[in-house]
Amino acid sequence: MTAQQFNDKYPVGAPFTYFSIKGMPSTAKDVETTSEAWELGSGDAVVKVTGVSGGVSVEHLEAK
């Protein structure tokens, strides 16, 4: 998903489950977005969420 697609679908403040290791339920944490998503130079989309430093990949988020 691109940053624009993510932003179009989810507003700032949207609730998610964040997986620090994608697909590993034991790493799950409830979070909310605190920024709009943006794209890194590599093209990967990232977003800021509560309780985590820096941007996290939108691929590691599951909408609630």
Q: What is the pLDDT of residue 45?
A: 98
Residue-wise pLDDT for 23-47, tens only, equals 899 999 999 999 999 999 999 999 9
Q: pTM for the complete prediction? A: 0.93
d(Cα 36, Cα 14) in Å, to the nearest integer? 10
Per domain, the residue ranges of the chain are 3-63
Other C-beta atoms closer than 10 Å to the C-beta of 56 total 21
Q: Distance between CA atoms of 64 and 14, rounded to whole angstroms?
A: 8
